[in-house]
């Protein structure tokens, strides 16, 4: 009887030890089985610039290379090797329509078959480029640069019997994009450029208005803040103010009618 009791006690002790061991091992086993298996990112190759190409510079084969790129991060404008394996050879010899930085993915609109006509490629559809005469004073001391937004001010000098130097100014165009100052079409490191002409991006009607204004007076440019939303240029052409001279006995009075 005593032997049977000892056997039962031994079995109970062994079972308890096995249960405790199972509780300690089980969580680790579950954690090991629940660990997710890493999924490899599917890659492709896109055409990028191997080095910087200046605006108007000719692109050589050495200036281009294939760069690994995640498949799910490739927009339609990128050039993939799988779709165009001969792109590096075919695009070599073309000209950059804008500055292309090293490592930048190549898109079709950044290249041109011809070395000329770069300004035309930067124009917004439906817009025209027109050049007006300017000087340092009329371009904010040379601080107005390409891609800035400006207002165009028209100044007319009117002859008066008592004052030959009377002038009137009014804003005729607002929020206009500057395409170039002389032949400079990109921002420069010095932050200033002194030129004799400013090329503006305008609609056809605005081109006609600013051309007519330039023939009847002088044009000045007023720089707009960088923080403003660009939006579309607007025209503020109004009828020129008229002056009526009223004589009352020996008194003469000029009345301006807008």
pLDDT of 240 reads 47
pLDDT of 164 reads 60
| Tokens describing residue 72 | 């799910």
Q: What is the pLDDT of residues 138-172, one digit of tens each?
A: 666 677 888 889 999 998 877 655 556 677 889 99
**Which residues of the chain does CATH 3.90.1210.10 include?**
43-120
Average pLDDT for 35-42:
76
Write out the CATH class of domain 43-120: alpha beta
pLDDT bin (cut points 50, 70, 90) of residue 105 is very high
DSSP per residue, 169-209:
EEEEEEEEEEEEETTB-S--TTS----SEEEEEE-HHHHHH
Q: How far apart are the first and last CA of the chain?
A: 127
Examine the pLDDT at 102 and tell me if it is beyond 50.
Answer: yes
Burial of 208 (0-12, 13-18, 19+ CB in 10 A): middle
pLDDT of 249 reads 65
Q: What is the pLDDT of residues 1-17, one digit of tens each?
A: 656 665 566 566 666 66
């Amino acid at each position: 009887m005593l032997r049977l009791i000892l056997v039962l006690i031994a079995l109970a002790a062994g079972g308890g030890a096995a249960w405790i061991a199972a509780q300690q091992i089980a969580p680790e086993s579950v954690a090991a089985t629940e660990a997710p298996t890493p999924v490899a990112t599917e890659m492709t190759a896109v055409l990028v610039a191997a080095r910087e190409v200046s605006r108007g510079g000719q692109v050589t084969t050495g200036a281009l290379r294939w760069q690994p790129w995640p498949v799910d991060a490739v927009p339609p404008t990128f050039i993939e090797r799988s779709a165009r394996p001969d792109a590096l050879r075919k695009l070599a010899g073309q000209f950059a329509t804008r500055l292309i930085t090293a490592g930048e993915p190549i898109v079709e609109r950044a290249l041109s078959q011809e070395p000329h006509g770069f300004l035309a490629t930067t124009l917004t559809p439906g817009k025209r480029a027109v050049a007006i005469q300017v000087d340092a004073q009329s371009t904010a001391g040379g601080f107005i640069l390409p891609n800035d937004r400006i207002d165009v001010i028209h100044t007319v000098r009117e002859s008066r019997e008592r004052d030959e130097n009377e002038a009137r100014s009014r804003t005729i165009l607002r929020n206009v994009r500057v395409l170039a100052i002389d032949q400079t079409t990109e921002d420069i490191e010095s932050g200033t450029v002194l030129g004799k002409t400013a090329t503006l991006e305008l609609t056809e009607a605005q081109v006609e208005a600013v051309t007519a204004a330039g023939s009847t007076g002088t044009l000045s440019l007023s720089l707009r803040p960088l923080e403003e939303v660009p939006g579309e240029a607007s025209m503020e052409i109004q009828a020129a103010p008229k002056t009526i001279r009223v004589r009352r006995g020996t008194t003469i009075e000029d009345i301006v009618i807008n």
